[in-house]
Amino acid sequence: MDNQQIDGNALILACSAIGAGLAMIAGIGPGIGQGYAAGKGAEAVGRQPEAQSTIVSTMLLGAAVAETTGIYGLIVAIILLFANPLITKYQSL
């Protein structure tokens, strides 16, 4: 059996790829939440058509707030994959 050493850069890149994948799991929650909110909004408009503008504006505001979680996860994944500060710090040691 060969005694192979793992390069520090390779280890950081592998862990960063796993972390980026885990960060993208954050997109599941907003997708489920926005689908649920859209369904409930459609039900509310069906029950009270005269309140459609209020219901839709409230639903869109809630969807925008919920989407920020997914966007933060995407930003973390992009940073880990393309602008990895850990590699820079490791190489400066």
> Does residue 45 contact residue 57 with C-beta atoms inside 8 Å?
no
pLDDT of residue 1: 53
pLDDT of residue 2: 60
pLDDT of residue 91: 82
pTM: 0.73
Question: Taking residues 79-84, what's their average pLDDT?
Answer: 91
Where are the domains positioned within the chain?
Answer: 30-87
Could you report the per-residue pLDDT of 56-78, keeping only the tens digit for each? 999 889 888 888 888 999 999 99
Q: What dotted CATH number matches 30-87?
A: 1.20.20.10
The one-letter code for the residue type at 4 is Q
Question: Taking residues 21-48, what's their average pLDDT?
Answer: 90
Q: What are phi and psi of 25, to 5 degrees?
A: -65, -20
